[in-house]
Amino acid sequence: MLALYIGNKNYSSWSMRAWVLLKQAGIAFNEKRVRFDSFDADSTFKKALRGVSPTGKVPVLTDGDLAVWDTLAIAEYVAEQFPDKHLWPADKAARARARSVCAEMHSGFTALRGACPMNIEAHLPEAGALIWRDQAAVRADVARLVDMWGSLLQAHGGPMLFGEFTVADAFYAPTCMRIQTYALPVPPAIAAYVERVCALEGVKAWIDEALAEKDFRDFEEPYRLIRPPIRFGKWVHA
């Protein structure tokens, strides 16, 4: 049976991509969560991945003795193993474009990813407003997302980027989390897509489990010194 090694669900955006892809597609797998403690060579996290992945990073998919340790490679392997799940678009041109936008996510949007790390349980509109005001590269990344998502939704009629759920939606799910956490301004059509992604069964399951972790990792928290207390299901902000 497949096994997927992941990090903390609140923080690990690359883990989220692979996990959501499998979950949303209804592909059975065993989850192996490796808690972030640090990323030093002698950390518990790194030790747990020794012998599993040569990179010492998550996610890692194992299938028997085979390990696949890159998120895009995981997507391609799963799509080949489960062709009935139609994880890439059926049309050749659409499939090429889907691979292109996934590769763009894989190697791009570095300003957005660096300034707005994924933090599902946090609500950081004040930080988001300052980032938006001061970082032109973040604004440029969001503008590219708006153009990409808008053109794909228009071309394929929604509700997902290529009509039905594909690898591309799994790849951009953590970006949707960032837009929500930091309240980044996007047009209504893009905000509606973000809401639809969050409502997907696989994405909602990840979000719910991220919220249940309650595992504050200070090295993943550039904008919070502590994890705020919860009262009546809401964060208390000082």
Sequence ranges of the domains in the chain: 2-85, 92-211
Assigned CATH class of 2-85: alpha beta
| Rounded distance between C-alpha atoms, residue 108 and residue 102, angstroms | 10
Q: What average pLDDT does the segment 162-168 reach?
A: 98
Whether residue 232 is predicted with pLDDT greater than 80 in this model: the reply is: no
Chain segment 66-106, per-residue pLDDT in tens: 999 999 999 999 999 999 999 999 999 999 999 999 999 99
CATH of 92-211, one of 3.40.1050.10, 1.20.1050.10, 1.20.1060.10, 1.10.3720.10: 1.20.1050.10
238 within 8 A of 220, measured Cβ to Cβ? no
- What is the reported pLDDT for 234? 44
Instruction: Give the largest Cα separation in the chain, rounded.
Output: 52
Percent of the chain beyond pLDDT 90? Answer: 87
- What is the reported pLDDT for 183? 98
Q: Please report which confidence band the pLDDT of residue 57 belongs to, taking 50, 70 and 90 as the band edges.
A: very high
DSSP structural state of residue 52: T
- What is the reported pLDDT for 230? 52
Backbone angles phi, psi at 222, to 5 degrees: -70, -15
- What is the reported pLDDT for 173? 98
Regarding predicted confidence, which is higher, 237 or 51? 51
Buried/exposed 109-136: b ≥16 CB within 10 Å, e otherwise: bebbbebbbbbbbbbbeebbeebbeebe
Cα dihedral sign for 183, 185, 188, 192?
A: negative
- What is the reported pLDDT for 83? 98
Percent of the chain beyond pLDDT 70? Answer: 96
Is the N-terminal amide bond of 159 cis, ω within 30° of 0? yes
| Distances 193 to 25, 161, 162, 214 between C-alpha atoms, Å | 19, 9, 12, 28
State the pTM of this model. 0.93
Whether residue 35 is predicted with pLDDT greater than 50 in this model: the reply is: yes
